[in-house]
Every structure is written in structure tokens, then in C-alpha cells.
Structure 1
Amino acid sequence: MTEPGHTSPEPGHTSPGGRLGDPEVEARLARIDEVLAGLEAAPGPTVRSALEAVGLLTEVYGEALTRVLEHADPALAEQLAEDELLGHLLVLHGIHPEPPERRAARAVERLRPAVRERGGDVEWAGLDGQVARVRLSTGGGCGGGCGSGAADVTEAVREAVLAAAPELTAVEPVPEERRAAPAFVPLGSLTRRDGGATRTRETT
């Protein structure tokens, strides 16, 4: 979210030092999607050549990332995998070193603070085959917008999990377990039972 008084970064602008922050990266990814969508909708051999060039360049970058992982020790490979941008690229090229379950669980953990800010909570509950399971609560005391809010949170969790682990087929919430209320025992009966036991011990 853009802070008051600041504008979103435009493509072509970089942060101090030439590095791209997460907002700049997101802006460029969104722009890439727009440009590719426009190219795919346009006819002609020039467009086909441009799309082919993009595909070939993507393959070369994927090969470069593969070679980086081959030279990385386990600790470095883990650091690379945990970086959000690098993690997405490794997933895109099918070379992510972590299993889908771990990636999906990390995506849920990253969303947890935002869900808690809205009064709810989300927790990873494991895999059922190729289906991710999450425990999701929207919190109590929500007003008339609670239903739409719950749907928004559920959709955000689904998108995050499937982006991190596209090998999975779906994301399903796990119903909250309802614990049975303890049986009510009148206090008077407990008093009488204790008293009777005391008198029995005294007469023996």
C-alpha cells in the first residue's frame, strides 16, 4: 500500500543504489503482464517474433538460475528459496528446491499478520493429496460486511498458496473444531456426595 504523500513507482525508476524494492518489482511485473497481453492480442509476424524472443530469454534466465542453484551450498539455496522474488522465479522455472507443502506453508505464514490485523487468523493445516488445507477464522463481532470480508481473505489465501505452489490443485478451509461443553453437575450434589463419603469413613 502506498504511503500518504508518495506515488507508486513508475517503470524505469529505481530505488537509490539501483536496487528495486518490492513495490518497484510488483509494478514491473504488472506492466510485463499488460505488455504481453497486448502483444498476444495483436496479429502479425513482428509480434510473433517478439513473443518468441521473450520466451527464449525466459528459458536462458531459467538455465542461469539452475546453474546458480547447482553451485549453491544448502544454506545459500535455502536463503534463495526464502526470498519472495527469487522464490517466485524458481517456481516459474520449475527448479524450486523445496517441496510444495513447505512453500505453501510459508505463504500462509506470510499472510498471517495481515489476516490478524482484520481480526481473524489463518494457519497451515497440511496437505490432503494435492489439496492444501488451512484453518481460517474471520474473528467474532463482525458486522454486515463479514461475509464479503471472509470471502476476500479466503481468496487472498488461495491465490498466495497456489502462486507459491502451483503444483497443488486447490485450497480448502478446514472447519473449526467444536468442543463439546462439559456436562453440568449441580454444586449441591457434589457437596452431598463428599459429605456422605466423609460420614462413611467416620463410621468404619
Structure 2
Amino acid sequence: MAEAAGQSPAARLTDADAEARLARIDGLLAELEAAPGPTVRRALEAVRLLSEVYGEALARLLEHAGGEPDGRPAVAEDELVGHLLVLHGIHPEPAERRAARAVERLRPAARERGGDVEWAGLKGRVAQVRVSEGGGGCGAGCGAAASGLWEAVREAVLAAAPELAGVERLPEPSGRRAAPAFVPLDALARPASRR
């Protein structure tokens, strides 16, 4: 542990490294929980107590952290820190607001591709989102692109608010899709005499 305190910034974890370690921790804890005996129970209790102390330290850090103009601590924007704050139940923003912001961040990219995404709210612990894939002119592979958009939305919402149980895709309300471009045949046949 003393060596860890003296680590240089070059030794810090990347997001991918942190994700790999979190997955490994989950696996190890699952193995421990399946093993019998008092030593295992004491080890799991030590992990729980350590987690509680780290959670308290994070809560105190949030109290001292400078906030954004809307009162949200800037440190909570970091994905890994945000996950820890959620784990300890101390994230300063409600899950609904974090998930809605994740959808809004995807909106420009969706619109560039002729579609749109819209936050519709929470139903219990399930996020509800409308996703439109756009329309006309969509050639081969369009279904794959639409599927990719929905998957990106689902992943972004659950990354921003991992405590949610899922993401539900709502149907588009009737009348919301843009009408396909239509040029009457007789308009093409008329001479362009007036200009």
C-alpha cells in the first residue's frame, strides 16, 4: 500500500484498465461469496467495511469539490468517479437527469444521420427513450445503422445511470415522422416559363 501512495501520474489507470479491474473484482467477489467458511466471511466483511470508508471519503471530497454553475461538482462528470458515487449512493445528480443528459449528448450525431433521439422520462427504474432512424434515402445497411443508434443510446443511458434497471424504446407518436419528399409528376412536366 505504501508503494501505491507514491505512484507517479504515469502509473495511473486508463478507463479500459479500470473497467478490466472492476470486472476482475466482480469475479473474485463472486468466487468468495460461493466459498464456505469463517475466513471467507471475514474477508467479505473487510471488503464491505473498506467500501463504506471509501464511500464516506468520496462524500467528503464532494463536499469540498468546486461545483459547476448549476451546483453539480465537476468531479462527478468523470465516468469512473461517477460510477463510484453511484455505488456509494452519493451521486449529487438524480439518475433521471444524468440519463436525460446522456440522450441529449447523442442528439446532434443522430440528427446528422437523419434520425433523432428524445428523452421521455423514467417509468420506475426504466429509462424511456424515443429513437427515430430518419427515413427516405436509406439504402442497404440502414437497419444496421438504426440498430447501432439504439445500442449507442442504451449504452450511454446505462453508463450515465448504472443504477437504472434498463432502457425501453418507445414508439414514435403517429404524425411525428417527416413526410418523404414528394414532387408531383405534372410539376416535372410543366415548362419552366416563369422565373
What interval of TM-score do these two structures reach, taking the shorter chain for normalisation?
A: 0.5 to 0.7
Paired letter, 1:171:
V
Equivalent of 1:39 in 32, 41, 44:
32
**1:127-166 correspondence to structure 2 within 5 Å:** 127-130=121-124, 131-137=126-132, 140-143=138-141, 146=143, 150=147, 154=150, 157-166=153-162
Equivalent of 2:98 in 78, 95, 103:
103
Paired letter, 1:51:
L
Counterpart Cα distance in 2 of 1:24 and 1:16: 15
Percent of aligned pairs with the same residue? Answer: 62
Between the two proteins, the alignment pairs up a number of residues equal to 173
Q: Show the counterpart of 1:55.
A: 48
TM-score (norm 2): 0.67
| Alignment of 1:175 onto 2:174 | no
Structure-2 change in CA distance of 1:129 and 1:82 (3 Å): same
Task: Name which structure has the greater RCO, CA cutoff 8 Å, separation 6+.
Answer: 2
Q: Show the counterpart of 1:30.
A: 23
Deviates more, 1:82-91 or 1:39-48: 39-48
Residues 129-188 of structure 1: CA distance to partner in whole angstroms, max 9, x if unpaired? 444232334573344x947982x7645643542343255454222334324569988969
Structure-2 change in CA distance of 1:108 and 1:179 (3 Å): closer
Deviates more, 1:93-102 or 1:14-23: 14-23
Q: Show the counterpart of 1:65.
A: 58
Larger of the two Rg values belongs to structure: 1
How far 1:68 moved relative to its partner?
A: 0.9
Residues 10-46 of structure 1: CA distance to partner in whole angstroms, max 9, x if unpaired? xxxx996221111111111111111111111211111
Counterpart Cα distance in 1 of 2:143 and 2:8: 39
- The residue matched to 1:40 in structure 2 has which SS? helix
Counterpart Cα distance in 2 of 1:45 and 1:157: 44
| Alignment of 1:79 onto 2:77 | no
- Return 5+ residue gaps in structure 2 as ranges: 1-6, 191-195
Structure-2 change in CA distance of 1:163 and 1:181 (3 Å): closer
The question of whether the paired residues in 2 share the 8 Å contact of 1:122 and 1:134 is answered with no
